[in-house]
A and B are shown apart, each in its own frame.
Chain A
Amino acid sequence: MDFAKDKATLEALIAEEKAAKADYKALKEEVAGLKKSIAQNKAESKRVRLALKAREDELQDKGKAYKEFADEIDRLNKESVALREEYATKKNRLAHFFVSYKPEMLEDGIALKVIHLKQFFDMGSNYKTKAVHDISFDIKEGECFGLVGESGCGKTTTGRSIIGLYDITSGSIYYRGYRISAGDRWNRKEIKWSRIRTREQIKALREECRNTVKDLEKDGPSLASGGEDGMERTVKAIEERYEEKIEELKEALKVHCEIERRNIRRIRYDNAHRDRKFLNNIQMIFQDPVDSLDPRMTVEDIIQEGLKIQHQTNKAENHRKCVDMLEKVGLIPEYASRYPHEFSGGQRQRIGIARALVMNPKFLICDEPISALDVSIRAQILNLLNDVKEEMGLTMLFIAHDLSVVKYFCDRIAVMYFGSIVELASSDELFKHPLHPYTKALLSAIPKPDPYYEKNRTRLVYDPSTAHDYSIERPSMVEIVPGHFVYASPSEVTKYLAEIKELDASNAASDIPASTSTAVEAAEEGEKAPAKEEKRPSKSKKASKKAVKGEK
């Protein structure tokens, strides 16, 4: 506990709250003003209508009378629409005004930020399964982020926590700057432990005080200190000094607890005031295409369910959307009236994708969408997801256990092992420089359709008890190369850096013939070359955009 720092934070928090309250008041007034102007608008239009009616009676000709007022009515109508829209957005903002909001995230282009996420499950009798234990990552706008690991490592739990199927235990998740869910376990524990720590410190101080006094008394009242009276005075001074220290500690604890209490209050407030409509932007595709579709609903019902829950009850509109979606995912509109059991696995997964896409999401969580499918159908679904991603500009979190699929699909990959992320890098970087022993083990386990390779394959085994020695140094996430994070201790970092150099050297030796051969292949292949070229400018555009941003 750092008293000065804590105090500063607390003051900042209080000031922030005050400012927020003031802002809220201003916004509220604005909204009230809007309401008033809407009322005015209504009154005016009523007046105009009355005037129109009067003229109508006079002229006995509807068209002529209407013409006179046409401009006025038009203006009023437009004004009314604009006002209502503004009123709705502002009122919505007002309703979720105190939810934590970090606009700087939008400026950085981060779509989703997960900070210290922990997800524990209560298993009864004070025993907890720590499914996800302290992971942090962020997903940039328009990016596809892969989460890899073996079954039971918490990757699915992470996805489900993000979409809000679980109340998270600790940490927070931000989507486009807004905190969409948070947990307060850490804060509660912090209060508890800081109390215990302070109590122990106070105890130690009291002990120290008693000891110094005892030492003084053992020496006996000396002449220099001024006899009995002087002795008493010194003891009192010492005790007072210690008392002061204790008071200081208590004060520090108070401030610290106050901060945490405020944080907890905020977390609870945020969780209670989530903007449900805003959360529609996040959708999920589930693993099992058989279990995730209700067998008693038709395809149309399944696809429209989300819309109905969001009170979009226009039947014709919903049907149109449903049909559009079916066509987008490669099914025929006639399928809308059928039931899920009439479809094959790949088609069912397409229905699952349509159900997610009909809500017009910006962010899609794919929870092992292809692992339950046949090989030939897998490629279809992967290609479909790729198309949809480009068409709708989706940001994706792609969860899988097969590294070859993730590499094919994702821009950046995080490798998870037993609830924590052990390595995070861009997909090319991860395959070029796999550093963490678990990543290497995973890579060595991928079956390749190449008999020679398979017969000579040496599978690496990852055993955390022998692979690391964390008894002396504590490991943490370290950025080894820009954009490449590894969970490692300082001594391991030096080891990994040496490994990167080695890998680079060996790659450089074998890279030269490979690159020339690809160039030749590209020249040979006339059909695919234009398609590739089409893609390239879009990427370079993005890059140039980023560069421009950086200059700004």
Chain B
Amino acid sequence: MEKDIKALGTIDYPKEVGEVPSGKAPVLSVRNLSVSFKTDEGMVRAVRGVSFDLYKGETLCIVGESGSGKSVTSKTIMGILAPSAHIDSGSIIYEGEDLTKISEEEFHLIRGTKIGMVFQDPLSSLNPIMKVGKQITEVMIINGDRVKKIYKDIINDSLIAYKNDQRLISIAKSEMKYKNGRKNVTKEEKAENKAAFQKEKERVLPLLEEHRKKLAEKKKEGRKAARAYKKKCFLEYADEGLSLLKKAFASLFVGGFTEAYGNFIAAHRRYVSKLRVSRKEAKKRALTIMKEVGIRDAERRFNQYPFEFSGGMRQRIVIAIALTADPDVLICDEPTTALDVTIQAQILELINRLKKARNMSVIFITHDLGVVANMADRVAVMYAGKIVEYGTVEDIFFRPAHPYTWALLSSIPDVDSKERLEAIPGTPPNMLFPPKGDAFALRSRYAMGIDFKEEPPMYKLSSTHYAATWLLDERAPVAKRPKIVSTRIENSLKREEERKNGLR
């Protein structure tokens, strides 16, 4: 028996997230991600080995209770973890690069522009003393300096290479510090760690030096190019502008000054818009986006403050800000939890519509299974920092396999029934001391002896459906789903059949 368990334990299940289905390309793949936080009491293991894939144009819903690590996962993807966080292991691959290893400079090119995020509380994610319009256009104007962009485009590659090297060293250093900071570390181990760090440093340093030299060259080149562009624009403008200005002064005595001066101003504006995105341009784009997210009377709303908006409208503004840069991936961290039902339905519809129109991929984090049923193509159920079940919506809702998914499904009141709810007893485990074995065993009715000793591997149910529970093992007794869940599934399948028959 023990031997079997050991054999099972060797399965490296986090890598099992299913093969890529044909015709779908993964945009973002997370592999074996573990994140912990340093606190006074010790390390809080928030995420413990999470793996999933996000496909182009699909929605992945992450479900779980508060404290199950959903938000931490999304924050890691965005690279906005608190300084006390430490990425223990794992990788997040986006466009061939590992987001856990890249430098802050490179993240600037990804965060907001390629991966957008919508937060839970729309009031606290907006600046209360800044007009909404300004908040939407802010990013466009800041990123809109065209001269600077030319400079940046030239130096970018070498800068990123240089900074990445720096980051590699700092990662190695923090790793050493983290390892040496633990209790019960012998001197030899310490020395070993230090040696490893030195080795890494020696490996990277020459590269660093090379990259620095290259960067300096590129900088010079960039400055030259920027100056040239600026000069070119100015020369074009200078002739025209001067002649127009002369005409304007001439017209002072003849008449028609306003028109002539207007021409001059227009020429000047054209010149400025070549150098940077003007306020007018930004406003125009902001207004189209505001209309796109369903804000009526956008012209008037543009000049209002966040407090003048209702909760649903505020959330629309937040989504609009996230959309200004046209991201590939949108991460929504419980965007509708602070809203009530009718508004929630509107926002969900909006996100779905935008997803279709822009062919975005969405990571949607929520604890409401009703919302999941609406939004998701694929669902990951998280508990205590781990994905316990992973599959398509149909897999999760019609063929749930993990006791935690059963418990979640049976604890929501249904409109159609009035039975007593089966609450999940107790509270989620304290992640300072992650439980041994199956984390949900303490609250589960189906827990077996082995659940308290060994962690269950990820069992493959079908090519898209995985669950981590010992109940799926060959030797486990047959466990039946709770009554509520099975009747609900039956009912909804029946309803669907009726609907299909009705359509025919």
A525 near B411 with CB under 8 A, answer no
A459 close to chain B: CB less than 8 A? yes
Let me know if B408 is at the binding interface, CB within 8 A.
Answer: yes
B487 touches A521 (CB 8 A): yes
B243 near A: Cβ within 8 Å?
no
Cα separation A304 to B15 with both chains bound (whole Å): 54
Specify which chain A residues have a CB less than 8 angstroms from the CB of B272 in the assembled complex. none
Expressed in whole angstroms, the minimum distance between the Cβ of B343 and any Cβ of chain A is: 7
Q: Are A452 and B413 closer than 8 Å at their CB atoms?
A: no
Q: Are B422 and A379 in contact, CB atoms less than 8 angstroms apart?
A: yes
Contact in complex: B373, A441 (CB < 8 Å):
no
- How far does the alpha carbon of A429 sit from the alpha carbon of B425 in the complex, in Å? 33
> How long is the Cα–Cα vector from A152 to B411 in the complex, in angstroms?
28
Does residue B345 face the partner (Cβ distance < 8 Å to A)?
A: yes
Q: Mark A407-418, 1 if CB is under 8 A from B, else 0.
A: 111000000000
Contact in complex: B411, A402 (CB < 8 Å): no
Please give, as numbers and ranges, the residues of chain A lying within 8 Å of B425 by CB-CB distance: 380
A59 within 8 A of B: no
Measured CB to CB, the closest approach of chain B to A286, in angstroms, equals 17
Measured CB to CB, the closest approach of chain A to B240, in angstroms, equals: 53
Question: Do B483 and A459 touch (CB < 8 A)?
Answer: no
Q: Distance (Å) between the CB of A431 and the closest chain B CB?
A: 7
Give the residue of B66, B345, B415, B488 whose beta carbon is less than 8 angstroms from that of A404. Answer: B415
| Complex contact A379–B421 (CB within 8 A) | yes
Interchain CA distance A386-B422 in the complex, whole Å: 13
Contacts of A401 in B (CB 8 A): 340-341
Q: Which of B65, B340, B415, B493 contacts A375 (CB 8 A)?
A: B65
Question: Which single member of A344, A382, A457 contacts B427 (CB below 8 Å)?
Answer: A344
B55 at the interface (CB under 8 A from A): no
A403 within 8 A of partner (CB): yes
Determine the chain A residues whose CB is within 8 A of the CB of B339 once the complex forms: 151
Question: In the assembly, what is the distance between CA of A459 and CA of B311, in Å?
Answer: 19
Q: How far is the CB of A493 from chain B (nearest CB, A)?
A: 25
Q: A374-B367, A449-B370, A457-B374 are in contact. Are A383 and B492 (CB under 8 A)?
A: no
How many angstroms from the CA of A454 to the CA of B66 in the assembled complex? Answer: 24
Given A150-B342, A457-B374, residue A446 in contact with residue B415 (CB < 8 A) = yes
Residue in A408, A441, A449 whose beta carbon sits within 8 Å of that of B397 in the complex: A449
Task: Give the residues from 519 to 539 in chain A that come closer than 8 angstroms, CB to CB, to chain B.
Answer: 521, 525, 528, 531
Distance, CA A167 to CA B338, complexed state (A): 29
* A376-B65 contact given A150-B342, A382-B421, A454-B370, CB 8 Å threshold: yes
Cross-chain contact A150 with B421 (CB below 8 angstroms): no
Given contacts A379-B422, A446-B370, contact A452 B492 (CB under 8 A): yes
Distance between Cα atoms of A394 and B427 in the complex (Å): 28
Known: A380-B423, A448-B370, A451-B393. A456 touches B499 (CB 8 A): yes
The yes or no answer to B407 lying at the interface (CB within 8 A) is: yes
Chain A residues with CB under 8 A of B200? none
Instruction: Verify if B349 is at the interface (C-beta below 8 Å from A).
Output: yes
Say how far A244's CB is from chain B's closest CB, in angstroms: 59
Report if A402-B423 is in contact (Cβ < 8 Å); known contacts: A376-B411, A449-B412, A459-B349: no
Given known A344-B427, A383-B423, A450-B397, contact A442–B342 (CB-CB < 8 A) = yes
- Residue in B374, B407, B420 whose beta carbon sits within 8 Å of that of A383 in the complex: B420
Fill in one digit per residue for B399-421: 1 if any A CB lies within 8 Å of its CB, else 0.
00000000111011111001111
The chain B residue sitting closest to A380, CB to CB, is B423
- A400-451 residues at the B interface, CB under 8 angstroms: 401-405, 407-409, 431, 441-451
Interface residues in A447-482 (C-beta closer than 8 Å to B): 447-457, 459
Which residues from A are CB-within-8-Å of B371? 447
A319 at interface by CB-CB < 8 Å: no
Which chain A positions have C-beta within 8 A of B394?
A: 451
Select the residue from B341, B348, B495, B498 with max chain A CB neighbours within 10 A: B341
**Which A residues lie within 8 Å of B483 (CB)?**
525, 528
Q: Which one, B373, B407, B411, contacts A450 given CB within 8 A?
A: B373
Contact between A383 and B427, CB atoms less than 8 A apart: no
Checking A347, A441, A454, A521 against B374 with a beta-carbon cut-off of 8 angstroms, the contacting residue is A454
Distance from A131 Cβ to chain B, minimum over Cβ atoms (Å):
15
- Whether B311 pairs with A151 at a CB distance below 8 angstroms is yes
Give the residues in chain B near A451, CB-CB below 8 Å.
373-374, 376, 393-394, 397-398
A447 touches B345 (CB 8 A): yes
What CA separation (Å) do A468 and B386 show in the bound complex? 51
Which residues of A lie under 8 Å from residue B342 when comparing CB positions?
A: 150, 441-442, 445
| Interface of chain B residues 407 through 462 with chain A (CB within 8 A) | 407-409, 411-415, 418-425, 427
Question: What are 23 of the A-B contact pairs (CB < 8 Å)?
Answer: A150-B340, A150-B341, A375-B65, A375-B367, A376-B424, A377-B427, A379-B411, A380-B425, A382-B413, A382-B421, A383-B423, A404-B415, A407-B413, A407-B418, A445-B342, A446-B415, A447-B341, A449-B488, A451-B376, A452-B499, A453-B496, A459-B345, A459-B349
Seen from chain A, the residues whose Cβ lies within 8 Å of a Cβ on chain B are 150-152, 344-347, 374-380, 382-383, 386, 401-405, 407-409, 431, 441-457, 459, 510, 521, 525, 528, 531
What would 16 more interface pairs be, CB under 8 Å, given A346-B427, A377-B65?
A376-B408, A377-B423, A377-B427, A379-B421, A380-B424, A383-B421, A401-B340, A404-B415, A408-B418, A431-B415, A446-B370, A449-B488, A451-B397, A452-B493, A454-B370, A459-B349
